[in-house]
Amino acid sequence: DAKTTQPTSMDCAEGRAANLPCNHSTISGNEYVYWYRQIHSQGPQYIIHGLKNNETNEMASLIITEDRKSSTLILPHATLRDTAVYYCIGNQAGTALIFGKGTTLSVSS
């Protein structure tokens, strides 16, 4: 599994875009980038994943650099309910996800 590096914490104002970076310089060609978030005392929630191309769904956008060494998760209009720990994981499809410490995102009004 690719080692990922994320900032420990980030702050964001409600209504603004939250851009969460992730470095995964050792990611291999068949490893996906997955993003999950965990709100206190709940199970992780799947957000989005990508391999090479940028991806967008109803929750977020994922921008992956051309060399695949880093990516950015974008929450376009952050709300208070987006306050959570966000995990970026580089993983081969089908294998167990290994969680790092993630980024604690605090959204304030």
Partner 1 sequence: GAVVSQHPSWVICKSGTSVKIECRSLDFQATTMFWYRQFPKQSLMLMATSNEGSKATYEQGVEKDKFLINHASLTLSTLTVTSAHPEDSSFYICSARVASVADTQYFGPGTRLTVL
Backbone angles phi, psi at 65, to 5 degrees: -65, 160
Of 10-18, 35-43, 66-74, 75-83, the segment contacting partner 1 by CB under 8 A is 35-43
Of 96 and 109, which has the nearer Cβ to partner 1? 96
46 binds partner 1 (CB under 8 A): yes
From the CB of residue 92, how many other CB atoms can be counted at a distance below 10 Å?
12
Which tokens is 4 given?
A: 């990922």
Q: Which is nearer to partner 1, 42 or 109 (CB)?
A: 42
Residue 42 in contact with partner 1, rule: CB under 8 A: yes
Does 36 bind partner 1 (CB under 8 A)? Our answer is: yes
- Please report whether residue 3 would count as binding partner 1 according to CB under 8 A: no
Q: Does 45 bind partner 1 (CB under 8 A)?
A: yes
Contact indicator for 10, 72 with CB cutoff of 8 Å: no
Q: What DSSP state is assigned to residue 77? A: S
* CA torsion, ordered 70, 56, 53, 25, to nearest 10 deg: 10
> Which lies closer to partner 1 via its Cβ, residue 45 or residue 108?
45
Q: Nearest approach, Cβ of 51 to partner 1 (angstroms)?
A: 7
Question: Residue 50 carries which side chain, given as an amino acid letter?
Answer: G
